[in-house]
Amino acid sequence: MRKIDLSYSDDLLKDHEIIALKEQVILAHNQIHNKTGLGNELLGWLDYPNTYNKEEFNKVKKIAKKIKNDSDILVVIGIGGSYLGARAVIEAINHTFYNLLPKSKRKYPQILFAGNNLSSNYMNDLIEIMEDKDISINVISKSGTTMETTIAFRILKKFMERKYGKEAYKRIYVTTDKEKGLMKTLADKKGYETFVIPDDIGGRFSVLTSVGLLSMAVSGVNIDELINGAKDALEEYSNQNVFENNSYKYAAIRNIFYRKGKDLEILVNYEPSLQFFSEWWKQLFAESEGKDGKGIMPLSLTYSTDLHSLGQYIQDGKRNLFETIINIEKVRSDIRICEDEDDDKEFEFLNGKSVDYVNKKAFEGTKMAHIKGNVPNVVITIPELNEYYLGKLIYFFQKSCALSGYLLGVNPFDQPGVEEYKRNMIRLIKSAQ
């Protein structure tokens, strides 16, 4: 089975509503593939699974092998699209407690993250963890001017220079612009190994480039299979027919719900390892659609955990929301619920059942309850959580997001509002001097 299945609650949405968007979908499809729409200069991700730089890809694998051999920890320094995609894949594919496994079982370096916040506690705790370990660093920034990344790199660069002296440059890897920017200038000056962020791919669409691939490969992720999944998705989701292209159908459904006043979408997963995949998804859609006074607010929840905190609101609260559920058919491992001689028989019906079986019944029962409560459900089912299907799912959402943005009438590839807080922060810091 090599597909992503998409279904939706047809009692809350009819096929004729999707048919009504057919011509708009075709128009948006042509704008994407002919590169004539808003933000067309940032459509490099569209064909990237076929056109990626093979030399750079092989370099990623070569350096990843080096880091595996000489490092206990790889610290990834970046924020937003510079780290979310990588962390999403690493946590989705690997052991749930990857970083806590002993080295003999983990086999690969621990992957830690910095530069995604401005917490002094976080930074000091990170440095304490690294004191007696061999470290490599991958700093990711196209311009080198992002405040959180700059601060973390400044501190950790000094840490590396104190620890390794003149040899520190051999353990610092920079992913940045090919030719210009502060980070590129510094890398050339210090002799750091560099990787390229393509000019025509924005941060939140960059997960399948060197931005995400290096740390993924270090953690043991099969990046060849990741790209293969995206390559098959590129072909499958190039059909302009909204009923034959699940990526487009998802975009159309979202816009129909939005026009009905449902302006809050919850991405739901039933696997905690998908938490950071959800974080990546939130950035993808929030930065792409949240502009010009428009857009669906993307949120994410992990069930059944969050049913015990937000389930009441979802069931009976304001009816402006819908759910998109990622359903994994086959889990990596399962475990049976054993009989308990101390059980008072109330839960005797669980005996012999697997935990995944119960989890899937929780999914089915929750879906039934929420639909009854007028919360539309869209279900995206993938056969299993591996590199191939994750690569395919990443491309699925990227293509859907681009089309959805055009249906909404916005440029899905810029993010002008992100800069406002940065300008204020810098002004306030300078004014206090």
The residues carrying an active-site annotation are 287, 422
Residue at token pair 């390892």: 273
Per DSSP, the three-state class of 82 is helix
Residue at token pair 């089975």: 1
Whether the CB-CB separation of 335 and 354 falls below 8 Å is answered with: yes
d(CA 132, CA 69) in angstroms, rounded, equals: 17
Q: Please list, in sequence order, all residues whose beta carbon lies within 8 angstroms of the beta carbon of residue 28, skipping any fewer than 6 positions away.
A: 37, 403, 406, 407
Q: What is the DSSP string of 214-240?
A: HHHHHTT--HHHHHHHHHHHHHHTT--
Angle value at C-alpha 379, between 373 and 383, nearest 5 degrees: 145
- Residue 273 has φ and ψ, to the nearest 5°, of -65, -10
Q: Per DSSP, what are the bridge partners of residue 135?
A: 73
Burial 318-328 (b: 16+ CB within 10 A, else e): eeebbbbbbbb
Q: What is the DSSP string of 233-291?
A: HHHHTT---TTT-HHHHHHHHHHHHHHTT--EEEEEES-GGGHHHHHHHHHHHHHHH--
DSSP state for residue 165 in the 8-state scheme: G
Whether the CB-CB separation of 358 and 350 falls below 8 Å is answered with: yes
Q: What is the DSSP string of 295-326?
A: -PEEEEEETTGGGGTTHHHHHHS-S-EEEEEE
DSSP state for residue 192 in the 8-state scheme: -
Per DSSP, the three-state class of 339 is coil
Of residues 135, 187, 138, 140, the one with CA closest to residue 163: 135
d(CA 380, CA 95) in angstroms, rounded, equals: 23
Residue at token pair 């819908």: 322
Per DSSP, the three-state class of 106 is helix
| Residue 23: how many other CB atoms lie within 10 Å | 10
